Structure formats: C-alpha cells, structure tokens
C-alpha cells in the first residue's frame, strides 16, 4: 500500500464519494477556492465546480441548518465547521433538528448529513480553537460520533459516514492532518461502531481515540522495555460504542485505563469506564483509571498547553499504578 497524509486520505474519500453519488456535495467556510483551513478540500472546487463545493457565509448556524434541510430533502451534504469550538453556534440545528427529525417523523425522513470538524490542542491557538467537545455530541440520541486516528481509518470511516442515513459528527484532530499512514488504492470502507485493536498485549488494556491513540502507542512501546505488554484499543467511533471489543480485551488483561485529551469531568472516559464496570466488573483485577485533560480552558502558552493534556509519561505512570495493584 502507498503511504499518504491524513488530509489526503480525507480528500480522497470526499472525491470518491462525490464521484459515486451525485447527491453528495460539500459546504462550509473557505472550502472552495481556498481549499479548506487544513487543505482537505483543495482541488475539489476545480474538479466538481461551485454547485457541489459551496463556499458559505461565516455562519455555523446557517451551515448546519441548510445542511440538515438539504439532507432531509434527498441530498447527502458534507458540511465543514472549521473548529469544533464554533459548533456551539450551531447546536440548535445539530441537536434539535438534525439529530431528532428522523425519530420525530417516524422514520418517514432520513438525515444523511456529515458534519466534518476538527478539535484538539497542539498549535497554541488557545481556548476558543483547541477544545475537545466530543462528549457533548455523544450525549445526544440520534447522532453518530466518529474520531479516526490514522489515514486508513479516516478515509474508510468518512466514506461510511457519507453513506450512512443518520447525522454523523466527524471530528478530525488538527495535529493529525500532517501524519502519514498506509492506505490502499482500491475501494474500501471502515464500518461505523467497530473499534480496532491497534496493538495486542496481555498485561493491561489502554483504550484511546483520535490523537491519543498515537500517544498511547508510544507509551506502550516504552512500557515494553520494562516488561509490560499493553493492548491498545482505538475506539474510532465513540457513538455507537463498540463495548464488545473493549470487554473482550479487559477479560484477557484484567486491567484497563482510558485515555482522552478532553477534560476528565463529564468526558467520554467516564462513559467508557462506567460501561466496563456495569458489564465487565467480574473481569477486573483493579479499578479502571482515567487519564484525561485537565479541567481548565486550554492555555495559549505551548508549555501550559502541554501540561493540560495527557503525555506519554502520564500514561506510563497510570499503567504502572494499575499494574501494581
């Protein structure tokens, strides 16, 4: 397989799905002539034209509302919201319209909408451009929430999201766009709601998603040198959650930690820990530990930003704490 960038994998997914289905179109701020804030839609305006790659006004509420309406009337829009922080302006359209209309119309309409956005830290752009708000959307019935960590998963999951008849919040980490990975040239998809074991091990399970998968894998490499073999699970889809894969791993290892860049309080880590406790308590030899972001607004200072989110050393320390019990 060839090795391509995360942003290229996303662009290929969009292009292929637009070629496959004429109902698929893109809309968002600066996605046309400019090619998107992170270069994902570069070249698509020239290839498909302004009718199918639409630059919008600077209004997240308008983007999400128009996209939801288009989806309900037979189109398959992929709407880009430049930062997940800005999705707060569109929560009424996302939560009260897109997420609920299929249910409220008794299944007589579908809402095949993908909202592409990006979150996370790493660029020192402070509290309004660096949040991890995925838990907000996980909480809402009717929404799928997807957060790929590799180019392979990014392409396959985006294609599956576009083909899905339900609204999908597709969250890309800003520090993953420039990462590379193996991606096949032939057609493939990655199913929604299926986690992936990125590394096998028998001593402890590390559960992570998005950029924290890469951090967890680095921690696992370091722990191997000390004789601790970690199994690393990439959730890939936060909702629906693949609890079966998680429980199979915990049954094998007897121990688990959950890693997330988002604030610990009210985060995805708490939900995963609760489900492990409810359905897999008898498998555990030690309490489940969460390694998550600090409950603070993200600082602009690179040094403080680094302290606010989990690092390799934090995961290593947590693993050793659980192993020692």
For the CA atoms of the chain, what is the radius of gyration? 19
**Residue in 219, 220, 218, 241 with CA at minimum distance from that of residue 229:** 220
For residue 114, give the 3-state DSSP assignment: strand
Question: Active-site residue among 17, 118, 129, 305?
Answer: 129
* d(C-alpha 257, C-alpha 287), whole Å: 9
Question: Active-site residue among 29, 60, 80, 118?
Answer: 60
* d(C-alpha 206, C-alpha 249), whole Å: 9
* d(C-alpha 7, C-alpha 2), whole Å: 14
Transcribe 218-260 into DSSP letters: HHHHHHHTTT--EEEEE--EEES--HHHHHHHHHHHS-EEEEE
Residue 120: φ, ψ to 5°? 95, 175
* d(C-alpha 167, C-alpha 156), whole Å: 17
Active site residue 118: no
Active site residue 129: yes
* d(C-alpha 264, C-alpha 173), whole Å: 18
* d(C-alpha 148, C-alpha 212), whole Å: 11
Contact by Cβ (8 Å): 64, 93: yes
The residues with which 204 forms a beta bridge, in sequence order, are 230
For residue 165, give the 3-state DSSP assignment: coil
Residues with active-site annotation: 60, 129
């Amino acid at each position: 397989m060839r090795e391509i960038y995360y942003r290229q994998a996303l662009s290929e997914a969009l292009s292929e799905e637009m070629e496959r289905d004429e109902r698929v179109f893109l809309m968002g701020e600066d996605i046309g002539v400019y090619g998107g804030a992170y270069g994902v839609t570069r070249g698509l305006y020239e290839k498909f034209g302004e009718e199918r790659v639409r630059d919008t006004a600077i209004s997240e509420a308008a983007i999400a509302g128009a996209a939801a309406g288009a989806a309900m009337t037979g189109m398959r829009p992929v709407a880009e919201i430049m930062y997940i922080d800005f999705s707060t302006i569109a929560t009424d359209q996302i939560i009260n319209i897109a997420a609920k209309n299929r249910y409220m119309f008794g299944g007589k309409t579908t809402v095949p909408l993908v909202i592409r956005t990006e979150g996370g830290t790493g660029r020192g752009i402070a509290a309004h451009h660096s949040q991890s708000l995925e838990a907000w959307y996980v909480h809402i019935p009717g929404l799928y929430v997807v957060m790929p960590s590799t180019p392979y998963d990014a392409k396959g999951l985006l294609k599956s999201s576009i083909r899905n008849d339900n609204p999908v919040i597709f969250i890309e980490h800003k520090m993953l766009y420039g990462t590379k990975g193996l991606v096949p040239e032939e057609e493939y998809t990655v199913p929604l709601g299926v986690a992936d074991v990125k590394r096998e091990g028998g001593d402890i399970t590390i559960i992570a998603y998005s950029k924290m998968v890469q951090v967890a894998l680095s921690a696992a490499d370091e722990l191997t040198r000390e004789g601790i073999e970690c199994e690393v699970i990439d959730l890939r889809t936060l909702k629906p959650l693949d609890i079966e894969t998680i429980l199979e791993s915990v049954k094998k290892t007897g121990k688990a930690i959950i890693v997330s860049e988002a604030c610990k309080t009210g985060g995805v880590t708490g939900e995963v820990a609760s489900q492990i406790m409810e359905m897999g308590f008898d498998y555990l030899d030690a309490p489940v530990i969460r390694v998550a972001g600090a409950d603070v607004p993200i600082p602009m200072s690179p040094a403080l930003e680094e302290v606010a989110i989990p690092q390799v050393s934090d995961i290593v320390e947590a693993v050793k704490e659980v192993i020692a019990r």
